[in-house]
Amino acid sequence: MHTILSYDNIVCIELIIKTMSTLSVPLSPELEKSVDELVASGYGSNKADVIRRAIIKVSEEKAVEEVLQAMSEPTLRGDLRKLSKKIK
C-alpha cells in the first residue's frame, strides 16, 4: 500500500510537528516495560504515541467524571426570591 502525500498533507504534518512540544519524563523500569509492551501489542506505534494516548484517555476520563459530578449536584428551581431567603 502506498501513501500519496499532497502539498496539503505535508503542510498539515509540518504544522503538527511545529506545534508539538517535547517533555522529558523519568519512568520507573516497570512503567517503561509497560510502555514497551503496549507498543509491542500495537496499542501505539511508538513510546511517544502510547504516552500521548494515555494522556488523552486520562483527560477524557476526568471530563466524564466532572460531567457526572455536575449531574449529581442539586439544582435550584422556583422563585429566586424565595430560594434566596432559604439560603440566608
| pLDDT tens digits, one per residue of 16-74 | 666 778 889 999 999 999 999 999 999 999 999 999 999 999 999 999 999 888 888 87
- Grid coordinates standing for 66? 466532572
pTM exceeding 0.75: no
Closest CA to 48 of 58, 57, 38, 62: 38
- Spatial distance between the Cα atoms of 14 and 33, rounded to a whole number of angstroms: 31
CA 36 – CA 54 distance, rounded (Å)? 13
Measured torsion, CA atoms of residues 61, 64, 65, 70, in degrees rounded to the nearest 10: 160
